[in-house]
Amino acid sequence: MGNKKKKTHVPFRLNMLFFVVFLLFSVLILRLGMVQIVYGDDFKREIERTEDITVNNPVPRGKMFDRNGNIIVDNTPLNAITYTKYQRTSQEEMLEVAERLAKLIDKDTSKVRLRDKQDFWIIKNPDKAMELITEEQWESYEQGILTDKQIYDLQLEGSKDFVGTLTELEIETLAIYREFSSGYALAPQIVKNSDVTAEEFAVVSENLEDLPGVDTTTDWERYYTFGETLKSILGKVTSSEEGLPKEQLDEFLARDYNRNDRVGKSNIELQYEDVLHGQKAKVKNITDKAGNILSTEVISEGMRGKDLVLTIDMDLQSQVEQIIEEELWNAKKEAKSALIDRAFVILMDPNTGELLTMAGKGIQKNKDTGKPEMTDFAQGNITTSYAVGSVVKGATILTGYQTGAISPGTVHVDQPMVIKNTNPMSSWKNFGALNDLRALQVSSNVYMWKTVIAMADGHYVPNNPLPLNLTAFDTMRHSFAQFGLGARTGIDLPNEATGYVGTVKQSGLLLHLAIGQYDTYTPMQLAQYVSTIANGGYRIQPRLVKEIREPLLESNQMGPILQEVQPTILNRLDAKDEWIDRVQEGFRMVMQVGDGTAVSYFRNVDYSPAGKTGTAQAFYEGFEQEKYGRVPVINLTLVGFAPHDHPEVAMVVVVPWAYQGNSGPSINNHIGRKVMDAYFNLKKERIATSEETNTSEQTDENAEVQLDIEE
């Protein structure tokens, strides 16, 4: 029997598996074919047509409150007309919309430049612009001799003869077109907001379909509740037309700002820009390749800037400014010098550095009428400096203690001093033998000079030369800087000046330095100086911001505290407590004892003041210097604090160029007395009001309890 050949046998289940796999692959291939062949173009267009663009929409700035919760700076709503440029919007399309809009609104054209008009004329008249180029110039262009820019420059030059033919409507169109062109794609650009009338707002709203990109919305501007009071210190914000400052453009753009965002450009608005600016709303626009918006998605809601609570007491600030104005006008009329044109007053808590008032006023001629008018010049407290006279003698005495030149109780004879080849030098009166306390009380120059002579290893002999160790300049200036004199105070404002430091070092000038007649100091430096003496020797940084608070959207009340600014001690005087106590006592005697230089102005007050007066010869450096020249004048100053044993307020008064000649009005003392009175009177009024309120509330509570008992 032969071998039977075996047949290959594939199980039925395996065949079914192969068949199913084949079927699935067939379906997959068929599906891929459908996608690629039938719907491929549609999906390609879908991918190409979408693009995500995130736009930041600005929000209102944070508010400012005073220390008592009064709103100082707010945002007031404005009707606004905006324009949003699409990515593919052409120049011709923007011009067409600008022309339509110009027929509906009035647009300020004052910022339109000649170059803008030239460009506009060329755009509107392309054929005529071509005719401005000669055949010879065109040939040079075709030969590569002239570039595109050179051809355009020739057209610009030729267009000067035609820009005068532009109509008023065309110039308004140009002004609007400038606004259209200045913004980013898909970022709303303010076209007009400061003076949009109700009629303009309504008519533009009705015609939005014919004005692609244009919209009507609500914008804001800063509103100052107290008018011009403290306005220069509060600072300014750029307008929507200005946008970001050019000198800081790259910095702001790197911080996610838009070109037309408004930012703080001076003082508090600038210093606290990061706090006040707020968190902008983020909106994602889905667009096609033509730039048309397909959909919009809000990524994050905007939040207006955080609020600042200032250390300033606006009720007190208003009163102080009124006092300055009245005294300045009176002095202007009665003074021997017509040069007096400014005065400064600072009130500060010497224990915390909180500025309660920061006032400055100046008199300038109105540019239109030529008549003098009062202007706010509070910024001069940190940007201008003056020879301040005898108010620095407290620092001179303490420097004398530190160096061992004098000790508490040291006696010198106050009589005229005659140094060889110089005129006699003396105090305003010969006081004979006196110690350090009386030297402060009566403001003895001679005592200060003899202190400095000892400090500089000198030996005074009448009618002989007076060689001194001039390193005493550095010793004194280093000591003065511990009080803040000649050093930055650290105030939370930009552009603080440090004053003038004399560069010439001579024996006579060293004596002048000791009585405040050489180096110059700002009013703010004097405030830090007198506060350092008042609080027992701690130089504290002055500040204008007390708290940063979370904004409440629908309320004029202050929100929760985010940050409370704490006092900053910059340094402690290198002085014994008893030395500082002695200078404090000398300052008390100035205002309260015998023939103290300020006793006649502070007699019979109940707040126990201490302080120091100052008179310095200086040279006029005012706004009418071209008229009066550089003439010798007298600066008047006053520093003080009260109560003398537990100081709660420190004061500085500076009146430059108060008068000419040997005597004049004591405007510094008049202002100082009224300002101190205003502070303590306001304090009494508030205490009385608080007690009345508490009494009334207690009466109401008692009545409710009685009613409950009866029931």
Q: Catalytic amino acids?
A: 390
- Per-position DSSP letters for 63-119, written without gaps between them: PEE-TTS-EEEEEEEEEEEEE-B-TT--HHHHHHHHHHHHTTS----TT--HHHHHH
327's CB contacts (< 8 A; 6+ apart) are 343, 667, 670, 671, 674
Q: In degrees rounded to 5, what are phi and psi of residue 78?
A: -135, 145
Q: How many helices (H) and strands (E) does the chain have?
A: 24, 20
212's CB contacts (< 8 A; 6+ apart) are 93, 97
Per the rule left: phi > 0, alpha: psi between -120 and 50, beta: everything else, 253 is alpha
For residues 76 and 277, what is the distance between their CA atoms, to the nearest angstrom? 16
Pair 350, 534: CB distance under 8 Å: yes
| Residues facing residue 637 across a β-bridge | 614, 654
Distances (CA, A) of 27 to 17, 19, 36: 15, 12, 14
Instruction: Supply 352's token pair.
Output: 């915390």
Distances (CA, A) of 45 to 40, 42, 624: 9, 5, 72
Per the rule left: phi > 0, alpha: psi between -120 and 50, beta: everything else, 389 is left
Reported in sequence order, the residue ranges of 387-431 that DSSP labels E, i.e. its strands, are 411-414
Beta strands 64-65 and 307-310 are parallel
Beta strands 71-83 and 214-224 are antiparallel
Reported in sequence order, the residue ranges of 560-631 that DSSP labels E, i.e. its strands, are 561-564, 569-572, 610-619
Q: In degrees rounded to 5, what are phi and psi of residue 216?
A: -110, 135
- Per-position DSSP letters for 204-221, written without gaps between them: HHHTGGGSTTEEEEEEEE
C-alpha of 57 from chain center? 24
User: Coil, strand, or helix at residue 130?
Assistant: helix
551's CB contacts (< 8 A; 6+ apart) are 62, 63, 303, 304, 305, 306, 307, 559
For residues 322 and 311, what is the distance between their CA atoms, to the nearest angstrom? 20
C-alpha of 252 from chain center? 17
Strand (E) or helix (H) holding 322? helix 314-334
User: Coil, strand, or helix at residue 170?
Assistant: helix
